[in-house]
Chain A
Amino acid sequence: MADNGKQHGGKNTGVEPVNVGPDKRFSEISARIAAERKEAEAAQGQTGRRTTSIGNTWGSAFRLGSEFVAAVLVGGGLGYLVDRLLGTLPFGLITLLLAGFAAGILNMARTAGRVPKAGERLNDGPDGPTD
């Protein structure tokens, strides 16, 4: 039926018939879906990294505290290790505990998004950013 109508329209008038074949309609709708999907993906790409749900904000609140404590612990642990190896007991512990405190502040600032991530440096040229 559809095949017949298509042939008819093409031969006689050259005008697009109303009753097009199912293949054509299928490819039309595929193209439309692809276009819509591309648009949606582009929109999501802009806002994708800024998804704020309750779980996400609460999760980052949990993160802040533990990031700080972890850095202080690592600093103290490293200091004690250095002291054990070199036999300079209080000094390495004091220095690296303070460095751990600084690293903890840096961690928190990174988690809050106030300081760019360390990974962003890898993309710059050998001389670093130009600005």
Chain B
Amino acid sequence: MANDPLSQFQIKPIVDMFSVGGMDFSFTNSSLFMVAAAGTVSAILFAASRSASLVPSRIQSVGELWYEFIANMVRQTMGSDGMKFFPFVFTVFSFVLMSNLLGMFPYFFTVTSHVAVTAALAVFIIAMVVVVGLAKHGLHFFKLFVPSGVPIAILPFISLIEIISFLSRPVSLSLRLFGNMMAGHIVLKVFTGFVVSLGALGIGGIIGALFPLAMGVALTAFEFLVAFLQAFVFAILTCVYLNDALHPGH
């Protein structure tokens, strides 16, 4: 792998399949790691639920913790009737978390470091919010953009700001995840790249290389934290936005 920090994000086709209307539908390294993330999640959860016992085995308690964590989050943000969205939130969280964590392996591709992936997830979530809101409240849902008790003269301006604020949700949701993952991997690559280039400079360089090496170790730990935290933030914002559509009373 090249020593420049951006080559790790390159998308390379693995299997050339077909292209429709100028769009390339090849199976790429990104697709491979999406499949890997979904497969790993399924494998862990299958192993966790295969032999359920009253006293859980280690893998079973991993599955139980995982379930409980998301179930509690959904209940706290959406209430008990929000549990009908639990499968969706659980899927989103698991996919993002496993993509982030798989990206931490050396030479692995980080799916969530591409804005196309995170934007697709975010747009899907916001589309779901709009559909659920319209189904539950009808046209009354658009009252979201019309504050009450505002003088009619400045109402168009306020509505415009509210609409922009609503439209910025998928943007901030996707940019945050993408930005954190990409920036983290670049910083990691730059610092560990210093180790290699300093190490080539003889004995003084090797001593000097210890500092970026220590930084690389610290950043790796930090990146694991960010990988989990961003998956958590993504999932909890999904819950918050769905809660707006579901019961706006809160």
Contact = CB atoms under 8 A, between A and B. Distances in A.
Interface of A: 48-49, 51, 55, 58-59, 62-63, 66-67, 69-71, 73-75, 78, 96, 99-100, 102-104, 106-107, 110, 117-124, 127-129
A120 B228 CA distance: 31
A118 B244 contact: yes
B128 interface: no
A51 to B, nearest CB: 7
Contacts, number: 111
A81 to B, nearest CB: 11
A66 B237 CA distance: 13
Nearest to B141: A122
B244 A99 contact: no
Interface stretch (B104-112, B154-162, B191-199, B212-220): B154-162
Contacts of A128: 147-149
Nearest to B157: A99
Bin the interface of chain B by size: 35 or more
A74 B168 CA distance: 6
Chain B residues touching A, majority SS: helix
Contacts of B90: none
B168 A73 contact: yes
Contacts of B169: 70
Contact of A59 (B147, B233, B243): B233
A62 B169 CA distance: 14
B236 A59 contact: yes
Contacts of B248: 117, 119-123
A55 B225 CA distance: 9
Contacts of B244: 117-119
Interface string B236-250: 110000011100111
Interface string B124-144: 000000000000010011011
A62 B180 contact: yes
Contact of A123 (B168, B179, B232, B249): B249
A104 B166 CA distance: 10
B229 A99 contact: no
Contacts of B249: 120, 123
B165 A118 contact: yes
A107 to B, nearest CB: 5
Given A49-B76, A99-B161, 15 more contacts: A55-B232, A58-B229, A59-B229, A62-B176, A62-B180, A63-B176, A67-B172, A69-B172, A69-B175, A73-B171, A73-B175, A96-B164, A118-B244, A119-B144, A119-B245
